Amino acid sequence: MRRAVFLDRDGVLNRAVIRDGKPYPPRNLDELVLVDDARSALDRLKEKGFVLVCVSNQPDVGRGTLSRAEVDAINENLARALPLDAIEICDHDDAAGCDCRKPKPGMILSAAERFRIDLSQSFMVGDRWRDIEAGRRAGCRTILIGDGYGEPFPSDPAAKVDSLTAAASWIMQQDEAHRFPMPNLQDLKIAIFADGAEKAGMLEMYAKPYIKGFTTNPTLMNKAGIRDYEAFARDILAAIPDRPISFEVFADEFVEMERQARKIAAWGPNVSVKIPITNTRRESALDLIRRLAQDGIALNVTAIFTLDQVKDVVDAVKGGAPTYVSVFAGRIADTGLDPVPLMAEAVRRLAPAPNTELIWASPRELLNIFQADAIGCHVITVTNDILKKLSNVGKDLSDYSLETVKMFYNDGKAAGFTL
Ligand SMILES: [Mg+2]
């Protein structure tokens, strides 16, 4: 399906002849004057892939006051001068009861069928209410050039501009916004968990209602300089008593892992125990995972990289306690493999166990939040450095461009470079 811009003729592509404040068509080639920017505006739209169709009422033909030959001569001239794909003419008066005279959408609808046009992604540009109404009835977005000659409008155009160039710019802006829509935080269904082990950073995120939970791990805790695991965990749980928090076991023998898991689970009702999918000898933790889940201990099975591991965990915990299945999408991406299709498949594999939720772990960039949301992933664990970029979501890209230019300029100046 293609997109089109439908254009009225007189007062849009060529100047209307104004008598007593009302627009009239040129009566012959001598009276035909193209608007100055018709060619440049249409060239820009053409370049963007729009089909360009002129749709024009010429009722004076039906009334017998203008010959069809004059109308055709003018149209041939327009067709030579402008990159139009078609010129549609209705030469009826109202009395004819035709389907093509604007405000009826007949000319637009027939061209749409012929050129396989998606009208919802198309536009109608006119200078009178009949143009706007025809565009609206056809399901196009409508743009009025000028003031409409003071005539009443049954419906408002989507945009009012003062030139064909401005109309083309508005259309291209709308078209780009549709094809590259800015994301919106309010539309996200995925739960964002903050991943970290620094108390101040965790509390900063706890203050934000859109952070729905927390995850930690021994690596982050070690980096944060934590030496007393339980004291840290109890301190955090006292400050964050009402959102899920995952704490990980740190043993390599399953007997000891189980002892730690049961102890950690007792710290609070909002605790999930992180169990790695294997120990360091590649021995499967599935038996332990099954036992804990079936004993009602909420789990977060971590360090998962393959779909087989996902399936095994789902089989082990099905019917048991709530379990996060934490797939390291970011680390998978670090190998050059696109994690999106793999994560989408993981979502499907969780379906047989409603007590499971998929975590997109180790995201590398803010975009991953939207990718994870788009495939129906339940949770994404995000570090604070990426979470800080959430304020960029929906930012105007031309403003961002300017900000970037200023950064280069200021840094160049600060460095005192000379050439
Ligand atoms: Mg007109």
- Domains along the chain? 4-179 (3.40.50.1000), 185-392 (3.20.20.70)
How far away, in angstroms, is 56 Cα from ligand 1 center? Answer: 7
The predicted pLDDT at position 386 comes to 95
How far away, in angstroms, is 130 Cα from ligand 1 center? Answer: 9
The predicted pLDDT at position 182 comes to 81
Query: Which structure tokens are listed for 296?
Result: 């009602």
**DSSP per residue, 246-302:** EEE---SSHHHHHHHHHHHHTT-TTEEEEEESB-TT--B-HHHHHHHHHTT--EEEE
Active-site residues, by number, are 274
Q: Could you say which DSSP state residue 393 is in?
A: T
The predicted pLDDT at position 265 comes to 98
Strands 17-19 and 22-24, how do they pair? antiparallel
The predicted pLDDT at position 181 comes to 79
With CA atoms as reference, report the closest residue to 381 among 246, 201, 249, 278.
246
Q: How far apart are CA 314 and CA 311, in angstroms?
A: 5
The predicted pLDDT at position 178 comes to 83
Q: How far apart are CA 225 and CA 150, in angstroms?
A: 74
Strands 211-215 and 356-360, how do they pair? unpaired
- Give counts: helices (H), strands (E), the chain: 17, 16
Q: How far apart are CA 154 and CA 177, in angstroms?
A: 27
Sheet holding 86-90, edge to edge: 86-90, 51-57, 4-7, 123-126, 141-145, 159-161
How far away, in angstroms, is 58 Cα from ligand 1 center? Answer: 10
Query: Residue 47 burial (CB < 10 Å; 0-12/13-18/19+)?
Result: exposed
> How many residues in the chain?
419
The tens-digit pLDDT sequence of the chain (419 residues) is: 899 999 999 999 999 999 888 899 999 999 999 999 999 999 999 999 999 999 999 999 999 999 999 999 999 999 999 999 999 999 999 999 999 999 999 999 999 999 999 999 999 999 999 999 999 999 999 999 999 999 999 999 999 999 999 999 999 999 988 888 788 888 899 999 999 999 999 999 999 999 999 999 999 999 999 999 999 999 999 999 999 999 999 999 999 999 999 999 999 999 999 999 999 999 999 999 999 999 999 999 999 999 999 999 999 999 999 999 999 999 999 999 999 999 999 999 999 999 999 999 999 999 999 999 999 999 999 999 999 999 999 888 889 999 999 999 999 999 999 99
How far away, in angstroms, is 103 Cα from ligand 1 center? Answer: 12
With CA atoms as reference, report the closest residue to 194 among 183, 182, 210, 177.
210
Rounded to 10 degrees, the C-alpha dihedral 319/320/324/326 comes to -80
The predicted pLDDT at position 74 comes to 97
With CA atoms as reference, report the closest residue to 1 among 51, 41, 46, 48.
51
With CA atoms as reference, report the closest residue to 300 among 278, 319, 273.
273
Q: Could you say which DSSP state residue 149 is in?
A: G
